Chains A and B, each alone.
Chain A
Amino acid sequence: MYFYLPIALTSISLPLIVGLGLLVGLLSGLFGVGGGFLMTPLLIMIGIPPTVAAASDSLQIVGASTSGTFAHWKLGNVDVKMGIFLLIGGFAGGLAGVQLIKVLRMMGNADFVIKITYVLMLGIVGTYMFFESLNSLKKAKQANDTSQTKDTTSRPRKESGFVKFLKSLPLQTRFEKSGVTQSALLVIILGAFVGILAAIMGVGGGFLMVPVMVYLLRMPMHVVVGTSLFQILFTCIEVSFLQAYVNHTVDFILAVLLLAGSTFGAQIGTKLGKKLHGDQLKIILAMIVLVVTVKIMLDLLLEPSLLLSLKGGH
C-alpha cells in the first residue's frame, strides 16, 4: 500500500514508513534521543527531499517525545527543573549556532567544518561512552553486587579536581529528581554548548545531551532519558513551527505515518528500558552512535554514485 505525500511530492510504502517510525521511536523511548541523526538520512535514502525530511522528522519527534515523556513522567523519570534550565541554555545556544553558521558560510568552508564536527563529536562521544560503560559493567560483575538496582547514582564518586571545580561554581542548585546539586550556571552553559553544536550540525542534539547529562551533570541514566525527551519535545515544537511557517517544508502526512510507528515505539522502548541496567543502555547507545559514525566516514571517503543532490538537509 502506497501513500502520496502532499509536500514531499513523492509516493512511499506504508509498511516501510511505519516500520521506520517504530524503530526510531523505540530508540527514542530507550535512550532519550530524538533519533533525527538516524531518521533524516533514512528518509532521504527512500527519496524524500532533504529539507522536507528534516522538517517532517522534527514534527514526528514532537509526537514521539510526547509519548515518551508521558511514559517516563509516570515512572517519575523527568527532572522538569533541570530540563527547563537546559532549555534556556539550548535556546540561546541555538541562536548563537545559527549566527556561527552564517560566519562560516561567508568564510566559504561551512560544509567542511560541519561534517568534521559531526564525525568528531559522534566518534568521541560514542567511543567514550562505549569504554566507560564497558568498564562499569565489568566492575559491577567483579563486585558481584547483590543489589541489582538500576540506580547508577549508587556508584561511589571520586572527589576529583573536576568535581571540586564544579562545586566551586556559583548558583549551586539542588535538583531533587536527579538527586544532584549543580551550579545552575553550568547547566545553562552546557545546554548552550549542545544548542550551538546542534544548530551547526542541524540535528536535535539528543545524542549529545544524553552524555552531557550522564557524565558532566552526573544524573542517573533513567532520569537522563526522561529529562532529555522532555527537553527535545520543546525544542522540536519550536523547530517544527519555524519550518512550517518559514520554509513550508513540514509534510503533515509523512509525519503522521511516522508517528503511527514512533509513538508506539517510544512506549515499547520505555518498557524495555526499565528492564535494562543504565550501563547496558549506555553501551547499546554507544554502539549505535559508533555505527552511524562509521557510516558517515565511509560516505566521506568513498566516491558517491551521484555527484549532484537537491539543496537542504544535513
Chain B
Amino acid sequence: MKTFRTSLLSTLTAACFLVMFSVQTVHSITSEISPSRIAVDSLYHGSSVVVSGETDAEDEIIIKFSSPKKEILLRKKGKRSGLLWMNVGELELNPVPDVYLVYATGDINSMLNEDQQDRFMLGYDTFRRVVEVTPVSGETEKEKWIREFLHFKEKNKVYGIVSGQIETQTEGSRKTFNLSINWPYQAPPQDYTVGTYAVRDGIVLDYKETTLSVEKVGALKYISDKAYNSSAAYGIISILIAIASGFIVSIIFKGGGGGH
C-alpha cells in the first residue's frame, strides 16, 4: 500500500514537472534591451532605453526594472506636542528595491493573482504583503507608511507603475512588443534587473531576465573613486582648490572691476 502511494506520488510529481516543462518550452517569450549599458559621465541627464521582444498573441506583458532588494532606512515626520511637525524617528523597510519601475499592458491586479504578484514582486499591493516595516503599532500604521514610502519614491521618479505604454502588434499566433522609456537620472549607477513577463489567466507563464548596467565613466568615475578610496587626499585637494579659486577670483575681480 505504502509503495503504491509513493509511486503514485512520484508519478504525479513527474507529470507535474512534465506539464510545467512543456508549458515552458511551448511558451516562449523573447526580450531584448537596448542599450544594455548606460554610461554616466559629467553631462549625463538620463537616457532612453528600449525593451522589445515577442510572445504568444493572447499574452499580457509586464516589464519590470528593479535594483537588488535591501533594507532602506528613512526619517519619518510626525506631530510633536500636537502642534509641530518634525522628525520623530526612523523607519526601516525590508526588503525593498531602491528603484522599481513597472510597465504593463493592463492593470496588474486584474492580470495576476496575489500569489504570483508576491512571487515575482509585481504591483504595489505586494509591498503590503511581503515588506516588513519597523517600528509600527499595527496593520493600519504599516499600510500608512507603505503608502508614504511609495509616494516618496514616486516623487523621486524611481518608482512607478505605468499601464498602456507598451506598444504591441499581433501577427498570427505571435505578438511583438516594444517599450520605449526615459531612464531617470535619479536612478543611481548600479546593475538593474529587467524582467519581462508573459501573463495569462492570472499567472506568469514565462519570463526572461536581462541586466541593465548603469555605470560611472571617465572623470566622474575618477572623482568618485578618489572620494571613497583616498578620502584624506580628496579632502585636502578639494580644500586647496577651493582656496585657490577664492584667491584667483579675488585677483581677477580686482583687475577687471576697476574702482577701489
Which positions in A face B, CB cutoff 8 Å? 1-4, 6-7, 9-11, 47, 59-60, 62-68, 70-71, 74, 111-112, 115, 237, 240-241, 243-246, 248, 250, 252-253, 255-256, 259, 263-264, 266-267, 271, 299-304, 306-311
A299 to B91, CA, bound (A): 21
Q: A253-B220, A256-B245 known; 9 other A-B pairs, CB under 8 Å?
A: A1-B43, A11-B45, A63-B246, A66-B243, A70-B247, A115-B84, A244-B227, A300-B86, A306-B148
* Nearest chain A residue, comparing its CB with the CB of B87: A111
- For the complex of A and B, list the 10 residue pairs with the smallest distance between their C-beta atoms, beginning with the closest: A66-B246, A244-B235, A263-B249, A63-B242, A67-B246, A4-B44, A6-B224, A267-B253, A62-B242, A2-B45
Report the minimal beta-carbon distance from B94 to chain A, rounded to whole angstroms: 15
12 contacts between A and B (CB under 8 A): A1-B43, A3-B42, A6-B220, A62-B239, A62-B242, A64-B246, A240-B239, A250-B234, A271-B259, A307-B148, A308-B145, A309-B77
Tell me if A308 and B76 are in contact (CB < 8 A): yes
Task: Specify which chain A residues have a CB less than 8 angstroms from the CB of B46 in the assembled complex.
Answer: 11
Tell yes or no: B4 within 8 A of A by CB: no
Tell me if A304 and B42 are in contact (CB < 8 A): no
Tell me if A304 and B85 are in contact (CB < 8 A): yes
* Nearest chain B residue, comparing its CB with the CB of A259: B245
Task: Specify which chain A residues have a CB less than 8 angstroms from the CB of B220 in the assembled complex.
Answer: 4, 6, 253
Known A-B contacts A10-B185, A301-B84; the reply to A62 vs B246 at CB < 8 A is yes
Tell yes or no: B74 within 8 A of A by CB: yes
A111 to B88, CA, bound (A): 8
Task: Specify which chain A residues have a CB less than 8 angstroms from the CB of B242 in the assembled complex.
Answer: 59-60, 62-63, 66, 240, 255, 259
Tell me if B234 and A4 are in contact (CB < 8 A): no
**Scoring B residues 152 to 176 as 1 if CB is less than 8 Å from chain A, else 0, what string do you get?**
1001100000000000000000000
Tell me if A71 and B155 are in contact (CB < 8 A): no
Tell me if B227 and A66 are in contact (CB < 8 A): no
A306 to B44, CA, bound (A): 27
Report the minimal beta-carbon distance from A234 to chain B, rounded to whole angstroms: 11
* Nearest chain A residue, comparing its CB with the CB of B83: A301
Known A-B contacts A6-B216, A62-B242, A259-B242; the reply to A267 vs B250 at CB < 8 A is yes
Task: Specify which chain A residues have a CB less than 8 angstroms from the CB of B227 in the assembled complex.
Answer: 6-7, 244, 248, 250, 252
Task: Specify which chain A residues have a CB less than 8 angstroms from the CB of B249 in the assembled complex.
Answer: 67, 263-264, 266-267
Tell yes or no: B201 within 8 A of A by CB: no
Tell me if B43 and A2 are in contact (CB < 8 A): yes
Tell yes or no: B9 within 8 A of A by CB: no
Tell me if A248 and B231 are in contact (CB < 8 A): yes
Tell yes or no: B80 within 8 A of A by CB: yes
* Nearest chain A residue, comparing its CB with the CB of B187: A9
The A/B interface has a contact count, at CB < 8 Å, of 169
Tell yes or no: B149 within 8 A of A by CB: yes
Tell yes or no: B257 within 8 A of A by CB: yes
**Scoring B residues 219 to 254 as 1 if CB is less than 8 Å from chain A, else 0, what string do you get?**
011011001100110111011011101110110011
Pick from B91, B189, B250: contact of A9, CB under 8 Å: B189
Tell me if B74 and A112 are in contact (CB < 8 A): no
Tell me if B246 and A4 are in contact (CB < 8 A): no
Task: Specify which chain B residues have a CB less than 8 angstroms from the CB of A66 in the assembled complex.
Answer: 242-243, 245-247, 250
Known A-B contacts A244-B235, A250-B227; the reply to A307 vs B246 at CB < 8 A is no
* Nearest chain B residue, comparing its CB with the CB of A65: B246
Known A-B contacts A62-B239, A66-B247; the reply to A301 vs B85 at CB < 8 A is yes
A24 to B37, CA, bound (A): 39
Tell yes or no: B186 within 8 A of A by CB: yes
Tell yes or no: B70 within 8 A of A by CB: no
Tell yes or no: B188 within 8 A of A by CB: yes
Tell yes or no: B71 within 8 A of A by CB: no
Tell me if B75 and A309 are in contact (CB < 8 A): yes
Tell me if A302 and B246 are in contact (CB < 8 A): no
Tell yes or no: B40 within 8 A of A by CB: yes
Task: Specify which chain B residues have a CB less than 8 angstroms from the CB of A299 in the assembled complex.
Answer: 85
Report the minimal beta-carbon distance from B48 to chain A, rounded to whole angstroms: 15
Report the minimal beta-carbon distance from B217 to chain A, rounded to whole angstroms: 11
Tell me if B85 and A300 are in contact (CB < 8 A): yes
Task: Specify which chain A residues have a CB less than 8 angstroms from the CB of B236 in the assembled complex.
Answer: 241
Task: Specify which chain A residues have a CB less than 8 angstroms from the CB of B85 in the assembled complex.
Answer: 299-304
Task: Specify which chain A residues have a CB less than 8 angstroms from the CB of B145 in the assembled complex.
Answer: 308
Tell me if A63 and B243 are in contact (CB < 8 A): yes
Report the minimal beta-carbon distance from B92 to chain A, rounded to whole angstroms: 11
Report the minimal beta-carbon distance from B135 to chain A, rounded to whole angstroms: 13
Task: Point out which of B75, B155, B189 has the most chain A C-beta atoms below 10 A from its C-beta.
Answer: B75
